[in-house]
Amino acid sequence: MAIRTILEFPDPRLRTRAQPVTRFDADLHRVIDDMLETMYAAPGIGLAATQVDVHQRLVVIDISDDRNDPLVLINPEILSREGETATEEGCLSVPGYFDEVKRASKIRVRAQDRDGKVFERDCEEILAVCVQHEMDHIDGKLFVDYLSSLKRERVRKKLEKERKERAARASAPERRRSAL
């Protein structure tokens, strides 16, 4: 297993619409295991393949307190939606930013597991929100798309500034000072 690099907004690769998974083989299992490791290390409660630059319809989620109950959704589809909830969301691809998004409070989802077996699951509360958030990713959509364009632009500028500062720090010659 390996930790993969998470793409950050506004990276254009995050806008890719992912393709259905057709082969449930060792390569897929490697991607799933890497995604789980990446999600746990971040740490996050959900990660879509798009975020690690793999453009397949695959998401991993773990909302458990003990971080030992992974849910893998392959080729997920939402069969029904009910109610509305507003949740303060964040995203590993939009680090350090949180804002309220309205979504369905209950959904029924159909997906395949890592071996291709079809299953259905009712999700509510944070799990429902998380599934909808991750499924947006595989359609090239981010939670900041639900905000005003003014807010989104502010987030983009803030992240770009932080990235530049990080890069400058990394390339700056190391200065050593000794107090004698």
What is the contact surface with Ni ion in residues (CB under 5 A)?
91
CB of 142 to Ni ion, least distance (A): 7
CB of 122 to Ni ion, least distance (A): 22
- Select 25 or 139, whichever has its Cβ closest to Ni ion: 139
| Tally of CB atoms within 10 A around 102 | 11
- Select 71 or 91, whichever has its Cβ closest to Ni ion: 91
Q: Select which of 77, 89, 124, 134 is catalytic.
A: 134
The question of whether 134 is a catalytic residue gets the answer: yes
CB of 17 to Ni ion, least distance (A): 16
Per DSSP, 73 falls in state: E
- Select 5 or 171, whichever has its Cβ closest to Ni ion: 5
**Catalytic residue positions, numbered:** 134
